Structure 1
Amino acid sequence: MPAMENIAGNLFLIGLMGAGKTTLGKYIAQSLNRPFYDSDQEICKRTGVSVPTIFEVEGEQGFREREAAVIDELTSLQNIVLATGGGAVLRDENYRKLKERGTVIYLHVYPEILLERTRFDNNRPLLQVEDPLAKLKELYDTRDGIYRSAADIIIEANRTNGHKTAEQLLHILQRNAQTGQP
């Protein structure tokens, strides 16, 4: 296996809310000694308010505008690990920038598992509905194909041990660096 330093370029994590993008992203960034960014956290830091507050005041469209600006800026950096918001790839400009500026990694998780992971999280505006599982299934049905088409690597992140998932991803990245694949 090549050294971790041989893994070049930006790494962008995509997937539904609760897939583990932030948790896995931090671990991968630390393992590769790279800066980690979470697009939702960057938006909150810059606005001084939470994602639900932005949704409440500006609506989803306002949030998506802010998200596009942050993604444009962050994907222009070099050798970073970026966890995107679940809906980031729905906007053509974000999709294109992620594909052009780094390796896109889709963390695939089934809706039932996502519900368990997000059940008590009030910072997920799209899940503040009567039937969050139905909403997650709807989001999954709408987005899974888009995530798959954007991804250079698809990781099954359904297991509860995020450390094993991260090790699996690092192994794939090392193997791809050795063979010259994204």
Structure 2
Amino acid sequence: MNPSANLFLIGPMGAGKTTLGKKLAEHYGLQFIDLDDEIERRCGVSVATVFEIEGEPGFRQRESKCLAEMCQLRGIVLATGGGSVLLPENRAMLSAHGFVLYLPVTVDQQLSRLARDRKRPLLQAPDRRERLTAMATVRTPLYEATADLRLDADSNQIIKVMETAVQQLDARWQILGQAA
């Protein structure tokens, strides 16, 4: 199976990291963790509240600390936050401690999937398209550079995305297992 102990999902908000992560964890018999949910559990408040009180820099510090702790675990599927790749040390941790699956999504797909979302602090902007486009400009090259595998699954049907993910992961892991 996976030559790495962990599977890390990266990509922008609305890519489906949490939804797919839960399905992959179930399929492979691994524990699922959502990094933002873990931060909320530890802080006792929402990510939005952390942003409100500490700003993005404070949140990013908490995120890095929590990510470092998650990277010490074995046998997990971790759905990271969209900005987890912003810090070089986070990208290094992800690469060193797991197999990194990148879920790309277009800004149009994000706008559709996040149309009713009012809780994400970075989406609270007068022009959501402009905000998402600006984030994509910075983050997409970081996702690409960090990923072990890019999952081109632009379907909104989770079953199709799941099937594609399992096929690509199994094929990649089999090749890596044979090379070892």
Provide TM-score, normalisation by structure 1.
0.94
Q: Distance in 1 between matches of 2:169 and 2:122?
A: 32
Q: Are the counterparts in 1 of residues 153 and 164 from structure 2 also a CA contact under 8 Å? A: no
Displacement of 1:177 after TM fit?
2.1
Match of 1:15 in 2: 11
How many residue pairs get aligned? The number is 177
Give the RMSD, CA atoms, in angstroms: 1.3
List structure 1 segments (4+ residues) > 6 angstroms apart after TM superposition.
Answer: none
Q: Which amino acid aligns with 2:11?
A: G
Once the two structures are aligned, what percentage of the paired residues are identical?
Answer: 44
How do residues 65-84 of structure 1 correspond to structure 2 at under 5 angstroms?
65-84=61-80
Q: TM-score, normalised by structure 2?
A: 0.95
For residue 32 of structure 1, report the CA deviation from its aligned partner. Answer: 0.6
Partner SS state of residue 108, structure 1? coil
Aligned with 1:89 (options 79, 85, 88): 85
* CA deviation map 1:18-65 (0-9, x unaligned): 100000000000001110001100000111111111000010011001
Unaligned runs of 5+ in 1: 1-5
Structure 2 unmatched ranges of 5 or more: none
Alignment of 1:65-144 (within 5 A): 65-144=61-140
Does the CA contact (< 8 Å) of 2:25 and 2:31 recur in 1? yes
Work out the CA distance in 2 between the residues paired with 1:168 and 1:158: 10
Give 2:142's aligned residue: 146
